[in-house]
Chain A
Amino acid sequence: MIASRFWFGVLGLALSGAVLILYLAVSMHDRLGVRMVSEGLSADSRVVSWYLKNSAREGAAQLIRFAADDSVAKALSLASRVDQASEIDAGTRRQLKATLAKIAGEIPKSEGFDAVFAVAQSGEVVAHIGFEQAANLPDFELGGFPVVADALHGYVRDDTLVFDRIYRVVARPVEFEVGQLPAGAIVGARLVDDQFAADLSERTGAAIAFYANGRREATGVPTGFNRAGLDQVVTDLPSLDADADYKEKGRTDVHDYADGLSVVYARLPGEAWQLGAGYAVARQTPRVEGLFGVLKQADSKDKEAVSTLLLVAIALLAAVVGVLLSFWEYTAPLKAFGRQVKALSTGGVKHLAVDKLRGPFRQLGLDLNLALDRAPRLAGGDEAPISVGFEQIFGDAPASAPMAAFGVPPSVAPSAGGSAVQQPPASASFARADFPAHPGLGGHAQPVPPAAAVPPRRAVARAAAQPAFPGADGAYPPAMPNSDFAYAQSPPEMAMAGGAVHLAPDASIVNGSAELDPEWTQVYHEFVRIKQDCGEAVEGFTFERFTTTLRKNRDALMREHGVQHVQFSAYVKQGRAALKAKPVRQ
């Protein structure tokens, strides 16, 4: 299951990485959005400024229509000759007003004026159109405003005046005689109202609000923009007094509000500059509302940019890898285990073939085999085999273990060509400080691990083909002096099952004396073979050492269980060679 778990880890890391990337992307998007809005607002503010200037120039050009009209120039010349405004002939006023209206009607509406004033040299307004507030003010004049004064002195220029409303004003002189002081001036004014702001907004794409005297005068917003958001502009106006850039350069940095609205303030040129009048351009800063805001705010173009094929491929690949890994590590071993259990349930086999199992099922098989072995023992009392834990002695013995500790030189090890077995000295001892003693052996009290009772299922065909004793003549090794073992009278029976030779329970060594059991050689060879199959070192593992150990165990078991015989058999436990013992009463 390691690969599957690793895959889950990979998927977890990939998911975490995807969330990390999403967080970074959202943060980068928001940061980039703020920067773009900042730059966009700065550009918008300049575009509005440029537009105001350009429209003023266009207006000045349109004023030429008035200034070049002879009747206008003549009327202003006549009006300029009188000392008092009241002395201006009413007929002249009416005629001049009609002329102004006529000329104004010829100007395209988009380039026209909301009000036009004809001003005498004295500054008195001789006639005007579009400014009905001053209809009943006969002494209404404009001569004090610098823009009009400049026009009366030979300049054309613009201004922004704040009367009851904000007016963009442009004025130019009206000459009656060449080389003389202008007879008067013609002044065009355009009201800065919502329509004006809407035109500007349409050209710039930004929301625009004009303000003066601490209140919003006009607003123009593009489609979809929340107009009410610009109310914050008014509340923010007092803070502009402390803005050094606004006071000196006439333009602020970006002001960000809580709802994502970003605003840049700019002052209007002209007298309005001194009055604190100006305009604010605003944009809504694009922000992604949380990680899932990406899904909600993505439009069709964003979705078109996604490679669906790649996403499906990644998902399928991840799924396939996961399925394969789970099949390889879980499904297949489970099926193999299932087949084994099925065979076990149908009686085809008596134990599970552990070598065909993988992963945790191998251990399950071993445990199950142990259970199967323990069940008849429990049913049969002391006749059931007992795991003696020999693997702790033989299986764990290192290849380079000093055999001198056992007192058995390698030369006495049973071999195919050997004919004699040297008995270990009587004083030889199996006890090693690093070898834990088996419970019940030598008085030790450690319990027998249940897992150690798994019977051997390894094929032992070679064991059946070779002599019972390592000697070529097949003779059993001679009895060892001072040995408690006695050889069994009959060799162990071998059973063929499934093409493999298994050591049948009744093929185990039966001994009931203190002499060396002659069948221990078969057990020895079987044990050696299993060790070799399991890849364990067998150098130095002598028959004498083996029998000595068996003898001690046999004696201990006989004392413990009160039996006359103990059968030993070799088997594989957790991939290593091990021995188990079965007390036999008869």
Chain B
Amino acid sequence: MTLNCEAKRQWRSAIFAGLLCLALCLALCLAPRAEAAGLRGRLVGYEHLRNPVWVAAKAPERHGYSFREPVTTVPAGLRKLFPLISKEVCVVALGTGTPAAAKPVGVRVSGGRTTPVTLVVAPGTELRFRNGDPFDHRLYGVGFTTLAPSTTAKGATRRWTAQAAGRYEVRDELSPSVQMWVIAEPGVVATAFPSSDGRFALTIDEPGQYTLQAYFAGEPVGRPLAVVVDKRDVDVSARPLVLATKPPVEDNTP
């Protein structure tokens, strides 16, 4: 009896040990890489930015309307053509390490603009423009020939790759308000778009020192922010990226 009981005990231990090893292996395989870390931050001063397309459209000499009047119940301070930062401001982490994987990036064309409006990618990243409108678009590149005017029908997708570093402006022959900027930046490690309250989150694969930079309307805005990322998540919300400190001059005209 004693011998049988001992054998059973050894057998159970062996099964337990095997399950434990299996669990450890699964844990090792499924656990995230220890190097990936989250980088959270915050944008401020974006209320002082102005969407250049909308500002240009309000100029009387553009004949963009037959009448345009303010609704006085809306506070005058809010009647400013500040951008929708979730679509128009792009926050990137610039580093010296390995560039982010050149995964295709989707761009939606709809409602008189692209989403996102400003995009910072690594050179060689493929952009996929999807027409989300129930009518055609004819995107074309301004000042470069690799994106010639071509019709993109409803629901269709058009692909284009920014091969070299630089700033690319994309417009639409059939919708003048569509104006997109693509910045091909070799040092781009991660890209994020803020929420409506200015918060953003980046995923940094490799620990190291990075520079946070916001882009708006194809140009960097605000001062870059240097951050050090280690194996842990980093929250730099206490040191927000200041995009602008004062309203632009064009605010003098309603």
Binding site for B on A (CB under 8 A): 49, 52-53, 56-57, 60, 83, 121-125, 131, 133-134, 137, 139-150, 153-159, 162-164, 172-173, 175, 178-182, 213, 250, 267, 269-271, 273-275
Contacts and interface: CB of A to CB of B under 8 A. Distances in A.
B84 A123 contact: yes
Contact of B66 (A52, A122, A275): A52
Most chain-A CB neighbours within 10 Å: which of B53, B74, B178? B74
Contacts of A153: 54, 74, 78-82
B174 interface: yes
Contact of A145 (B66, B75, B111): B111
A52 B65 CA distance: 11
Interface string B41-84: 00000000001011001100011111111110111001111101
Contacts of A156: 68-71
B54 A154 contact: no
B177 A271 contact: yes
A52 to B, nearest CB: 6
Contacts of B70: 154-156
Contacts, number: 154
Nearest to B179: A144
Contacts of B54: 146, 149-150, 153
Nearest to B75: A179
B64 A144 contact: no
Contacts of B66: 49, 52-53, 56, 158, 269-270
A97 B70 CA distance: 27
A147 B63 CA distance: 12
B195 interface: yes
B135 A143 contact: no
Interface in B173-202: 174-178, 195-196
A153 B55 CA distance: 12
A202 B15 CA distance: 93
- What 8 pairs across the A-B complex have the smallest Cβ distances? A144-B113, A144-B112, A154-B74, A141-B111, A133-B134, A146-B57, A145-B112, A157-B68
Contact of A162 (B80, B113, B174): B174
A559 B68 CA distance: 127
A157 B67 contact: yes
Given A141-B115, A143-B112, 8 more contacts: A141-B110, A145-B177, A150-B68, A155-B70, A156-B69, A269-B66, A271-B177, A275-B174
Binding site secondary structure of chain B: loop
B108 interface: yes
A355 to B, nearest CB: 95
8 contacts: A56-B66, A150-B81, A153-B82, A154-B74, A155-B71, A156-B68, A156-B70, A273-B62
Contact of B135 (A154, A164, A178): A164
Contacts of A123: 84, 87, 111, 113
Given A137-B134, A144-B112, A173 B71 contact: yes
A267 B63 contact: yes
Residue of A133, A144, A158 with highest tally of chain B CB at under 10 A: A144
Contacts of B86: 83, 122
A149 B81 contact: yes
B132 interface: yes
Nearest to B56: A146
A373 to B, nearest CB: 104
Nearest to A274: B176
B133 interface: yes
Contacts of A163: 133-135
Given A83-B196, A153-B78, A146 B64 contact: yes
A179 B64 CA distance: 28
A427 B65 CA distance: 123
Determine the interface band of chain B, counting residues with CB < 8 A from chain A: 35 or more
Contacts of A269: 63-66
Given A57-B67, A146-B177, A140 B57 contact: no
Given A140-B134, A275-B174, A150 B74 contact: no
Interface of B: 51, 53-54, 57-58, 62-71, 73-75, 78-82, 84, 86-87, 108, 110-115, 132-136, 174-178, 195-196
Contacts of B114: 144
B111 A144 contact: yes
Contact of A172 (B58, B71, B133, B195): B71
A492 B174 CA distance: 125
A366 B139 CA distance: 108
Contacts of B176: 271, 274-275
A270 B63 CA distance: 6
A43 B74 CA distance: 38
A149 B69 CA distance: 13
Contacts of B79: 153-155
A269 B176 CA distance: 13
Nearest to A145: B112
A436 B121 CA distance: 129
Contacts of A273: 62-64
Nearest to A179: B75
B134 A134 contact: yes
A158 B63 CA distance: 11
Given A122-B86, A155-B68, A250 B112 contact: no
A144 B51 CA distance: 10
Contacts of B57: 146, 271
A173 B132 CA distance: 24
Given A156-B69, A157-B67, A159-B65, A140 B112 contact: no
B104 to A, nearest CB: 18
B10 to A, nearest CB: 57
Given A146-B177, A175-B73, A159 B64 contact: yes
Contacts of B67: 53, 56-57, 60, 157-158
Residue from A175, A270, A275 whose CB has the most chain B CB atoms within 10 Å: A270
Contacts of A83: 86, 195-196
Contacts of B111: 123-125, 140-145, 148
B64 A271 contact: yes
Contacts of A121: 196
Contacts of A52: 66
A270 B112 CA distance: 13
A139 B86 CA distance: 15
Contacts of B62: 273-274
A154 B71 contact: yes
A194 to B, nearest CB: 20
B237 to A, nearest CB: 17
A277 to B, nearest CB: 11
Given A155-B79, A274-B176, A142 B64 contact: no
B65 to A, nearest CB: 5
Nearest to A159: B65
Nearest to A125: B111
Contacts of A274: 62, 176
